[in-house]
Structure 1
Amino acid sequence: MNHATPDLPCACPGCSCQVTDAARYERDGKAFCSQACADLHPRGQACPSAECHCESHVKVQDRAVSDSQLDEAIEETFPASDPISP
């Protein structure tokens, strides 16, 4: 017996696509229809659906990673990112 989950709306702002079992990408506990939507359309990458233009609904500042976010990510990996001292 196949237990398919019902299609959900994509969590990307303005996206009209549905998230299916075959095309499901997760980020921060939300389901998206494509990797482009999950990554908030880096460099304006278009939605894979020809009928949807949700990339135009994502603000540029939401796409970019800020220096403070990078600093926090580096701090989270320290000291694992440092080589072992002899």
Structure 2
Amino acid sequence: MSATTTELCACPGCTCSVNAHAPVERDGKTWCSEACADHHPNGAPCPSDNCHCEQALEKRTVSDRQLDEAVEETFPASDPISP
């Protein structure tokens, strides 16, 4: 049985197939790696030597997962809701 499927990674510009045995699933999309799923924070490269999809994205210093954790840490907000 093949370790890949015909499904391509959801990362824009990525040419990698998704590993059927260890897909990275986030926000209803399937990615080939954590780097692609996190939108290449700090220019993290695609794990494939033949793909350079990280170069097509805007440089980021934090991942989506880090942003989600930061938002969760701020709830409940300290300010009351305005009437």
TM-score range for the pair, normalised by the shorter chain length: 0.5 to 0.7
| Residue 28 (structure 1) shift | 1.1
Identity of paired residues, percent? Answer: 43
Give the gaps of 5 or more residues in structure 2: 79-83
Q: TM-score, normalised by structure 1?
A: 0.65
* Distance verdict in 2 for CA 1:5–1:45, change over 3 Å: closer
Distance 2:28 2:69 in 1: 21
- Which residue is 1:19 aligned to? 18
Give the gaps of 5 or more residues in structure 1: 80-86
Q: Is the 8 A contact 1:7 1:20 kept in 2?
A: no
- What is the letter of the counterpart of residue 34 of structure 1? S
SS of the residue corresponding to residue 23 of structure 1 reads: coil
- Which residue is 2:29 aligned to? 30
State the superposition RMSD in angstroms. 3.5
Number of aligned positions between the proteins? 75
